[in-house]
């Protein structure tokens, strides 16, 4: 008997009078051996037609395909598709990429999306801890971070069901999310600003992070806005200037006034001839430098975003009203602005005393 050769698609000839049919139809293997090519061809074509018309055979094949899909559609693979087709089009693509990476490092990522239950998600959220190297490694993640990860999982399931027509149910709908908690009121305490800047100055990228932190305090700009700031967006004339923000959280451009201190900070930075980002640093590198400097400075519970609280509160302490402050910070509502404003009781007491003294000097009764 000679060597096997392909006679036609799905038909293999093993000799002058041996033709074997071997083909897969929707994952189902079909075989048969015949004396002539014509017989083999007729058998192949008939089987294809029969499987296409026989509802029972089709149900068997559908069940096999379903089992294969269930096994193959792990959360990790679905997250890859989500990141490519959904997340990449968002303004928050970079920050969401960190959340997706965090999910993919978990045990949950290896499970089929069809078999993830509410109990699985609850266990995942309960066990969440910082797993990146650094001073805070091993510490539990905040309730806010857990809520954000749960929201991401929920949206992944929603997209899978509505857009990709996967027959899955959303496990987030059946769990009680961690409490959102109260708005943060963390501000820089006595000496913290100096100690923090002192430790940041020891970092390899100190020429970037030190002025970035100082500018965050002076302008109340968000971390993402600072990272997106380009030299061409700055207009500085002496002791005043402006920074035009094109990519803001609320989607609307904003012009931030720069005071003398902010202009001094930016003026002391080396400006490349070709321009480019004012603060060329990636978020993970910035986070690592921040955490190490905070630990060395003996500062606990301070996040970069708290600098926005600090800057916003200082605007009010300078005497700006809510409308003026909102124009600088970009808050859409006065309530949102109030959440970011935490005036020091000591400053308010001094202001009350000054007002009382002014009234007394004017001869008005208190």
Helical segments of the chain, H only: 37-53, 55-72, 75-85, 93-104, 118-126, 143-162, 192-200, 206-219, 223-228, 260-267, 283-296, 306-317, 322-329, 334-339, 345-361
Q: Is the dihedral of CA 43, 46, 48, 53 positive or negative?
A: negative
d(CA 86, CA 70): 22
CA dihedral 324, 325, 330, 336 (to 10 degrees): -120
Of residues 173, 121, 182, the one with CA closest to residue 149: 121
Burial class (CB in 10 A: 0-12, 13-18, 19+), 192: middle
Cβ atoms of residues 242 and 235 within 8 Å = yes
Q: Which of 43, 99, 340, 342 is catalytic?
A: 340
d(CA 306, CA 337): 14
Residue 240: active-site member: no
d(CA 342, CA 316): 9
Residue 331: active-site member: yes
CA 160 to chain centre: 19
Residue 155: active-site member: no
Q: Which of 81, 147, 161, 305 is catalytic?
A: 305
Q: How many other C-beta atoms are found inside a 10 Å radius of the C-beta of residue 365?
A: 5
Residue 84: active-site member: no
d(CA 190, CA 212): 20
Q: Which of 99, 146, 214, 222 is catalytic?
A: 222
Residue 340: active-site member: yes
Of residues 25, 114, 30, 31, the one with CA closest to residue 61: 25
Q: Which of 308, 309, 314, 342 is catalytic?
A: 308
Q: Which of 14, 48, 249, 287 is catalytic?
A: 249
Q: Is 165 left (phi over 0), alpha (psi -120 to 50) or beta?
A: left
Residue 28: active-site member: no
Q: Which of 146, 254, 331, 342 is catalytic?
A: 331
Catalytic residues, which ones? 222, 249, 305, 308, 331, 340
């Amino acid at each position: 008997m000679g060597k096997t050769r392909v006679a036609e698609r799905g038909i293999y000839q093993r000799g002058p009078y041996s033709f074997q049919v071997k083909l897969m139809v929707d994952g189902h293997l079909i075989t048969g051996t015949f004396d002539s090519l014509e017989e083999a061809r007729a058998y192949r074509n008939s089987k294809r037609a029969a499987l296409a018309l026989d509802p029972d055979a089709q149900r068997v094949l559908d069940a096999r395909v379903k089992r294969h899909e269930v096994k193959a559609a792990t959360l990790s693979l679905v997250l890859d598709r989500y990141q490519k087709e959904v997340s990449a089009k968002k303004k928050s693509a970079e920050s969401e990429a960190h959340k997706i990476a965090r999910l993919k490092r978990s045990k949950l990522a290896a499970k089929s999306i069809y078999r993830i239950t509410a109990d699985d998600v609850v266990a995942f959220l309960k066990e969440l801890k910082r797993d990146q190297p650094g001073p805070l490694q091993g510490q539990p993640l905040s309730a806010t971070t857990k809520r954000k990860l749960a929201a991401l999982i929920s949206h992944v399931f929603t997209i899978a069901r509505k857009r990709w027509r996967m027959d899955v149910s959303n496990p987030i709908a059946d769990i009680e999310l961690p409490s959102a908690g109260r708005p943060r009121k963390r501000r820089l305490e006595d000496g913290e600003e100096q100690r923090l800047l002192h430790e940041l100055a020891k970092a390899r990228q100190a020429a970037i992070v030190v002025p970035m932190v100082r500018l965050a305090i002076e302008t109340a700009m968000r971390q993402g806005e600072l990272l997106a700031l380009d030299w061409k967006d700055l207009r500085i004339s002496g002791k005043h200037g402006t920074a035009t923000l094109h990519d803001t959280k609320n989607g609307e451009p904003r012009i931030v006034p720069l005071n003398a201190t902010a202009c001094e900070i930016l003026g002391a930075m080396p400006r490349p001839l070709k321009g480019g980002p004012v603060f060329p640093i990636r978020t993970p590198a910035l986070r690592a430098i921040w955490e190490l400097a905070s630990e060395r400075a003996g500062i606990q519970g301070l996040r970069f975003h708290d600098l926005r609280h600090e800057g916003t509160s200082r605007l009010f302490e300078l005497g700006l009203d809510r409308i003026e402050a909102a124009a600088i910070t970009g808050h859409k509502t006065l309530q949102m602005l109030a959440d970011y404003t935490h005036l020091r009781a000591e400053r308010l007491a001094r202001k009350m005393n000054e007002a009382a003294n002014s009234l007394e000097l004017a001869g008005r009764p208190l």
